[in-house]
A and B are shown apart, each in its own frame.
Chain A
């Protein structure tokens, strides 16, 4: 019998906040010391990838939720329509 465990929540959050802080600091340091080389100008904007990830993720969810108002229907959307005597099965 294997032991039932819950997921390592506290450990995860500690690592996460540490990584987040480290990434913010390292971005500044490496950008200042010219250790990173990008292809486009806009990528040199301070904390570009942090902003892109965060804002991109939020926008993605919010825009999709907006789309969802129109395209999310009940689970048996097609079944209901086909049972009304539609010959297309």
Chain B
């Protein structure tokens, strides 16, 4: 039997070589070959070349490493990790095609390290390897943001890293507590409860929820994804949040708290998206919303719900990459993705419009598109456990998704009732119906094909899911109810379309609490509080000096004045109170 080769390692280490390849064509070919090599390794793994992969939750571990008193399992392969790994490399291939025009080679390197570390995380068999990969994953997008080169992007990059280090520290603390309590490094289902004894698990869950951008800890996502380079943001949509969903499926399946957190996330971000003026920020809120469906599925925890969450993660990566690519087209060609500056682009970019519409229909779960075969599985799972509120909120969030991504976004960018774009945008366009670079359209074309293919032929995805699938997506009831709902959503949109038209503005989110009151607190600490501390320090030191001086000098000892004695007594009292307080 041949030794297993880690596809993540191949992609990440291979990515490091990209800047050193001298010829551009060779470099581009090599860049495209990396995910294909990963895909080939995955196909060989599935075919059993390196060893049989048993049915989930059993797994295949090709090797282990001794580490202190523990044994590390850097690789654990089961059907769920294979499912995520497949979609990671397929999406990476399309994203690489999209990014072929990028001149900065280090951007490619950062992206490949990001993809590689995400693969490392889904194959991680122990908690330390997982943590290591998650940490790399929090640094790689930092560079994708930094390479945009704007001041805003730099700020977003620093905030991104801070958020992810915060979640990373929570996860690490949780891991250490878990190891201390159980003595096991195994990354499997974690013990769960609301008591103090489960603090380790609670911290880990919290860290994963921040990574999965679950409301109210979602604000880092819209903040950073909308500031990255056009192709960099496409990579960012796929990996961080979905890896967190993977971790939640493995460790916290069936925790009811997640069901409500997911539902809240799905609904809340849909409201925020109504107000958005920037295409990429609008789509960011829809990542939060769609990840909410997955988190909800994990929380429901039945085989159907977990299957639904995993299938939705698979479909989501594909259609969300497509949508980001669609918005990336005007961003790259005319330099903006803000609705109030766009409109009427249809004549100049019709292909990008239709491909984005396919993405919009997929995310909305329109029948025969990919979202329909995965999202409805989670909704059906909510129906089967008789949770009408969860059902209604998830369906309501679907209305919002269709309203924004299927209608508002394409309407604002490509139509807005105009046949010509605003003059300043028009001046940057050629008199051609293909203003978008062909490689970008090709990448979008492949993803759009996958969206429809999965929507029409879901069996191929269902066969890859961790549990056997007993779900039939195409029933008369479901197809009809969703179609009718969307037909009438369109009517509502058309009646109120003036209200969803883009206008300049910035929508404040929960990060306002961190950025403004938090900023004020920091300002207070570094300013007045620090000055007061220094002054107190000086006063104390001066008093102590005077006492010492007085006690050492026999002449002044006799003439101890009352104020000095008072200062001494006060100092002694403070020390005494401090001592008492400490020992109480």
Interface centre among B271, B395, B486 (most CB of A within 10 A): B271
Q: Is the CB of B347 within 8 A of A23?
A: no
From the candidates A38, A53, A54, A67, name the one contacting B275 in the complex (CB within 8 A).
A67
Q: Is the CB of A6 within 8 A of B346?
A: yes
User: Across the interface, which residues of A come within 8 angstroms of B234, CB to CB?
Assistant: none
Q: Is the CB of A50 within 8 A of B508?
A: no
Q: Is the CB of A43 within 8 A of B523?
A: no
Given A60-B400, A67-B271, A53 and B415 touching (CB < 8 A)?
no
For residue B386, give the distance in angstroms from its CB to the closest CB of chain A.
8
For residue B451, give the distance in angstroms from its CB to the closest CB of chain A.
21
User: Across the interface, which residues of A come within 8 angstroms of B476, CB to CB?
Assistant: 30, 35-36
Q: Does B383 contact A (CB under 8 A)?
A: yes
* 5 pairs of residues in contact across A and B, judged by CB atoms under 8 Å: A53-B491, A68-B274, A72-B505, A74-B504, A88-B523
User: Across the interface, which residues of B come within 8 angstroms of A78, CB to CB?
Assistant: 155, 506, 515
User: Across the interface, which residues of B come within 8 angstroms of A10, CB to CB?
Assistant: none
Q: Is the CB of A19 within 8 A of B275?
A: no
Q: Is the CB of A54 within 8 A of B491?
A: yes
Q: Given A57-B491, A74-B505, 18 more contacts at CB 8 Å? A: A4-B348, A4-B431, A20-B487, A20-B488, A27-B480, A38-B477, A39-B384, A39-B391, A50-B485, A50-B488, A54-B489, A56-B492, A57-B399, A57-B492, A60-B271, A61-B403, A61-B500, A64-B275
User: Across the interface, which residues of A come within 8 angstroms of B414, CB to CB?
Assistant: 7
Interface centre among A1, A60, A71, A76 (most CB of B within 10 A): A60
Given A60-B274, A68-B275, A6 and B499 touching (CB < 8 A)?
no
The number of residues on chain B lying at the interface, defined by a beta carbon within 8 Å of a beta carbon of chain A, is 63
Q: Does A73 contact B (CB under 8 A)?
A: yes
From the candidates B275, B395, B477, name the one contacting A36 in the complex (CB within 8 A).
B477
Residue in A closest to B340 when the chains form the complex, CB atoms = A75
Given A20-B491, A72-B505, A57 and B419 touching (CB < 8 A)?
no
User: Across the interface, which residues of B come within 8 angstroms of A2, CB to CB?
Assistant: 432-434
Chain B window 251-274, contacts with chain A (Cβ cutoff 8 Å), 1 for yes, 0 for no: 000000000000000000011101
**For the complex, what is the distance from the CA of A74 to the CA of B386, rounded to whole Å?**
44
Q: Does B519 contact A (CB under 8 A)?
A: yes
Interface centre among B155, B403, B492, B500 (most CB of A within 10 A): B492
User: Across the interface, which residues of B come within 8 angstroms of A32, CB to CB?
Assistant: none
Q: Is the CB of B477 within 8 A of A37?
A: yes
Q: Is the CB of A73 within 8 A of B506?
A: yes
Chain A window 11-42, contacts with chain B (Cβ cutoff 8 Å), 1 for yes, 0 for no: 00000100110010011001000011111101
Given A36-B476, A72-B505, A49 and B485 touching (CB < 8 A)?
yes
Residue in B closest to A3 when the chains form the complex, CB atoms = B433
Residue in B closest to A89 when the chains form the complex, CB atoms = B155
For residue B395, give the distance in angstroms from its CB to the closest CB of chain A.
7
Q: Does B526 contact A (CB under 8 A)?
A: yes
Q: Is the CB of B495 within 8 A of A58?
A: yes
For residue B357, give the distance in angstroms from its CB to the closest CB of chain A.
11
Q: Is the CB of A64 within 8 A of B274?
A: yes
User: Across the interface, which residues of A come within 8 angstroms of B495, CB to CB?
Assistant: 58
Q: Is the CB of B348 within 8 A of A56?
A: no
From the candidates B158, B346, B484, B493, name the one contacting A50 in the complex (CB within 8 A).
B484
Q: Does B496 contact A (CB under 8 A)?
A: yes
User: Across the interface, which residues of A come within 8 angstroms of B482, CB to CB?
Assistant: 49
Chain B window 375-416, contacts with chain A (Cβ cutoff 8 Å), 1 for yes, 0 for no: 000000001101010010001100110010000000000110
